[in-house]
Amino acid sequence: MLELKNLCKAFPIRNAFGRKTGALQAVDNVSMTIAPGDIYGLAGESGSGKSTIARMIMGLETPDSGEILIDGRSIHDRSDGVAHGRRVQMVFQNPGSSLNPRRTVGQSVAVPLDAHGFPRSKRPARVATLLDMVQLPAAFAERYPHELSGGQKQRVAIARALAVEPKLLVLDEPTSALDVSVQAKVMDLLTDLGRQMGLTYLFISHDLSLMRNFAREVSVLYRGGIVESGTSDTVFGHPSHDYTRLLIASVPVISAEEAALRPVIPLIDGELPTPEQLIALRQAADRQA
Amino acid sequence: MSFPLLRVENLSVSFTTYGRTVPVLHGVSLDVPARSQVALVGESGSGKTVTMKAIMGLLRQPPARITSGAIYYDGADLLTMPEKERLKLRGTAMSMVFQDPMSSLNPVFTIADQMATILKYADRRLGRTRSSRDRMQRVYDTLAQVRMRDPERVARAYPIELSGGMRQRVLIAMALLSETDLLIADEPGTALDVTTQAQILKLLKDLVEARGLALLMITHNLGVVRETCNSVYVMQKGVIVEKGETAAIFEAPAHDYTRSLIDAVPRLTGGRRFGTAGVPA
Ligand SMILES: Nc1ncnc2c1ncn2[C@@H]1O[C@H](COP(=O)(O)OP(=O)(O)OP(=O)(O)O)[C@@H](O)[C@H]1O
Ligand SMILES: Nc1ncnc2c1ncn2[C@@H]1O[C@H](COP(=O)(O)OP(=O)(O)OP(=O)(O)O)[C@@H](O)[C@H]1O
Ligand SMILES: [Mg+2]
Ligand SMILES: [Mg+2]
CA distances in angstroms from A106 to A109, A130, A159, listed in the order given: 5, 10, 10
Question: Does B103 or A242 have the greater pLDDT score?
Answer: A242
Asked if B255 reaches chain A (Cβ–Cβ under 8 Å), the answer is no
Mutate to test the pocket of ligand 1, among A13, A27, A52 (most ligand atoms within 8 A of CB): A52
The answer as to whether B276 is a domain residue is no
Cα distance from B212 to chain A (closest Cα, Å)?
Answer: 22
pLDDT tens digits, A194-239: 888 889 999 999 998 999 999 999 999 999 999 999 999 999 999 9
Best of B146, B195, B226, B232 to substitute, by most chain A Cβ atoms within 10 angstroms, is B195
What's the number of CA atoms in the CB half-sphere (13 Å) around residue B154?
Answer: 26
Q: Looking at residues B123-133, what average pLDDT do you find?
A: 85
Element (H, E) at B57: none
Q: Strands (DSSP E) along B34-192, which ranges? A: 37-42, 64-73, 76-77, 94-97, 182-186
The answer as to whether B258 is a domain residue is yes
Structural domain total, chain A: 1
The answer as to whether B273 is a domain residue is no
Confidence class of residue A56 from pLDDT cuts 50, 70 and 90?
very high
Q: How far is the CA of A146 from the centre of ligand 2 (A)?
A: 9
The answer as to whether B206 is a domain residue is yes
Beta bridge partners of A90: A170
Q: Which of A2-11, B106-115, B258-267 has the lowest mean pLDDT?
A: B258-267
Element (H, E) at B62: none
Altogether, the residues listed in chain A come to a count of: 289
Nearest to residue A203, comparing CAs of A193, A189, A217?
A: A217
Q: How far is the CA of A286 from the centre of ligand 4 (A)?
A: 47
Nearest-angstrom CA–CA distance, A85 and A70: 12
Mutate to test the pocket of ligand 1, among A14, A42, A50, A208 (most ligand atoms within 8 A of CB): A50
The answer as to whether B272 is a domain residue is no
Question: A177, B187: Cβ pair inside 8 Å?
Answer: yes
Nearest-angstrom CA–CA distance, A29 and A64: 10
Element (H, E) at A270: none
Number of Cβ within a 10 Å radius of residue A124: 13
Around ion ligand 3, residues with a beta carbon closer than 5 Å are A 51, 93; B 163-164
Cβ distance B194 to A206 under 8 Å? yes
- Peptide bond preceding B62 in cis form (omega within 30 of 0): yes
Element (H, E) at A262: none
Q: What is the interface size between A and B, counted as CB pairs within 8 Å?
A: 198
pLDDT at position B91 over 80: no
- Where do the H-state alpha helices sit in A116-241? 123-133, 150-162, 180-197, 208-214, 232-237
| Whole-structure pTM value | 0.87
Domain of residue B242 covers: 6-264
The answer as to whether B280 is a domain residue is no
Helix axes A105-115, A123-133, angle to 10 degrees: 120
- Which phi and psi angles does A276 have, rounded to 5°? -60, -45
Cβ distance A4 to A208 under 8 Å? no
CB proximity under 8 Å: B 118-137 to A: none
The answer as to whether B274 is a domain residue is no
Structural domain total, chain B: 1
pLDDT at position A85 over 80: no
Confidence class of residue B48 from pLDDT cuts 50, 70 and 90?
very high
Nearest by CB to residue A261, choosing from B15, B221, B269, is B269
pLDDT at position B1 over 60: no
Nearest-angstrom CA–CA distance, B24 and B44: 12
Confidence class of residue B96 from pLDDT cuts 50, 70 and 90?
confident
CA distances in angstroms from B215 to A135, B50, B175, B208, B281, listed in the order given: 31, 17, 11, 7, 43
Ligand with minimal distance to B15 CA: 2
- B41: domain CATH number is 3.40.50.300
pLDDT tens digits, B188-221: 877 788 888 888 888 888 888 888 889 999 988 8
pLDDT at position A81 over 90: no
Cβ distance B28 to B8 under 8 Å? yes
The answer as to whether B275 is a domain residue is no
Number of Cβ within a 10 Å radius of residue A20: 9
pLDDT at position A272 over 50: yes
CB within 6 Å of ligand 1 — which residues? A 11, 24, 26, 44, 46-52, 93; B 160-166, 191
Q: How far is the CA of B196 from the centre of ligand 4 (A)?
A: 22
Cα distance from B3 to chain A (closest Cα, Å)?
Answer: 31
- Please give the order of strands across the beta sheet that includes B76-77: B20-32, B6-17, B64-73, B76-77
Question: A272, B156: Cβ pair inside 8 Å?
Answer: no
- A35: domain CATH number is 3.40.50.300
CB within 6 Å of ligand 2 — which residues? A 146-152, 177; B 15, 17, 24, 44-50, 63, 99
